[in-house]
Amino acid sequence: MPARGDRKVLVIALSILLVFQTIIFASVPGALDESRINVVVKSGTSLYGIARMLKDEGMIYSTNLFVLASLLYGGKLKAGEYEVSKDMSTLQIVRKMAHSERNVYTLKIVQGYNIYTVADAIAENRIMEKQEFLRLCRDRIFLKNLGINADSLEGYLSPDTYYYSREIDADKFIEKIAQRTLRFFEKADVRERMRAENLDVNQTLTLASMIEKEAKMSTEKPLISAVFHNRLQRGMSFDSDPTVIYGTKAFGSPITKADLITYTPYNTYTFRGFPKGPICNPDTTSIMAVLYPAPVDYLYFVSKNDGTHVFSKDMNEHNKYVAMYQKSKSAKK
């Protein structure tokens, strides 16, 4: 009968042999086929679950070998979407998943994008089909679960660059973006300023989206905000061209006189008060401009055709600037 020390040596030797055999067998490519597929490993999937999925796809020939090879990395494989091929060895696949060499997609939401331009970016980056995203944006159950009291996600998609990998469902990814906006409005100072201005979240985002579309220079945002606040307090209509365009959905087309007099829930020439909702996704500078309007009594502004505006306190002064800067155009305000 072998002594205890001999048995220990034998166990170590067998363990080393098993490791070497695993490395050797796991290093052999499954086939010469170079065609590639993407496999998605969801969070919480077991090692055997990953192995079975890969075997079903013909990427590995042994689930047990895959699990043994993964133990070389502590059995810690990362969730994600991975591009693999049959000419990869089991060890190469394991190493790729252990190092989280996954496919990552980028979504850039630029300030001023509306849900339609965001939908184009989402489709272009293969995150979700365009129409599926637009349907989700208007899904009342989805909106209710987020605590959004609005008709769509318009205005709630905070501008930034986001990274997406398919272990997360696309709707959960969009949910996280919207939650970022909602968290901003949970800040004590933001809530305090909204109360002071007698605004709720949707109204704040609506005004911010209008400012985002009107202002070319960030320094003018508090001034444009003041115009909207002053007109609201005086019971005047906002008369904002970007809201008209959003209502007609004629993005990129010149606004017409007919557009200005045609009612839509967004045409702020045809009624007083807020349009139906936001018209784009504003950045934080536009939101803060809503909460901190400039202390001025301007009621009008008109473009100087160089990215800036000239502001007026009364119609006579405004008409003078319209004649000066917009001779061939209708008054902006």
Share of the chain above pLDDT 70, in %: 88
Q: What is the mean pLDDT of residues 47-68?
A: 90
Is residue 169 predicted with pLDDT exceeding 80? yes
Q: Is 292 in a helix, a strand, or coil?
A: coil
Tell me, what's the pLDDT at 60? 87
**274 close to 299: Cβ distance less than 8 angstroms:** no
User: Which residues fall within 8 angstroms of residue 220, CB to CB, at 6 or more apart?
Assistant: 308, 309
Question: Given a cut of 60, is residue 10 above it in pLDDT?
Answer: no
Strands (E), the chain: 36-41, 80-85, 105-109, 160-164, 300-303, 309-312
112 three-class SS: coil
What's at 333, amino acid-wise?
Answer: K
Q: Break the chain into its structural domains and give their ranges.
A: 4-98, 105-184, 198-325
C-alpha distance from residue 96 to each of 83, 91, 99, 249, 256 (Å):
9, 8, 5, 45, 57
Give the contacts of 33 (CB within 8 A, at least 6 positions apart): 85, 86, 87
> Does the 4-98 domain belong in CATH 3.30.1490.480?
yes
pLDDT at 30: 56
Per-residue pLDDT reduced to its tens digit, 24-56: 444 555 555 677 889 999 989 999 999 999 999
Lowest mean pLDDT among 7-16, 96-105, 186-195: 7-16
Instruction: Indicate left, alpha or beta for 137 from its phi (over 0: left) and psi (-120 to 50: alpha).
Output: alpha
- In terms of pLDDT, which residue wins out, 16 or 32? 32
Give the span between the Cα atoms of 312 and 321, in whole angstroms.
Answer: 8
Summarize pLDDT for 224-271 with one digit per residue, the tens: 999 999 999 999 999 999 999 999 999 988 999 999 999 999 999 999
More reliable by pLDDT, 156 or 10: 156
Q: Are strands 105-109 and 36-41 parallel, antiparallel or unpaired?
A: unpaired
Q: Which of 241, 232, 300, 245 is nearest to 269 (CA)?
A: 241
What pLDDT score does 62 carry? 86
Q: Is 42 exposed, middle or buried (0-12, 13-18, 19+ CB in 10 A)?
A: middle
Average pLDDT, the chain: 89
Task: Give the integer Cα–Cα distance in Å for 12 and 17.
Answer: 9
Count the residues in the chain: 333
Is pLDDT of 11 > 50? no
User: How close are the terminal C-alpha atoms of the chain, in Å?
Assistant: 100
Contact 105, 125 (CB under 8 A): yes
What is the pLDDT, as a whole number, of residue 20?
Answer: 46
Share of the chain above pLDDT 90, in %: 75
pLDDT of residue 328 exceeding 70: no
Whether residue 94 has pLDDT greater than 80: yes
User: What would the two tokens of residue 317 be?
Assistant: 């002064």
The tokens describing 65, both together, are: 């070998």
Interatomic CA distance for residues 59 and 65, integer angstroms: 12
Supply 183's token pair: 């968290």
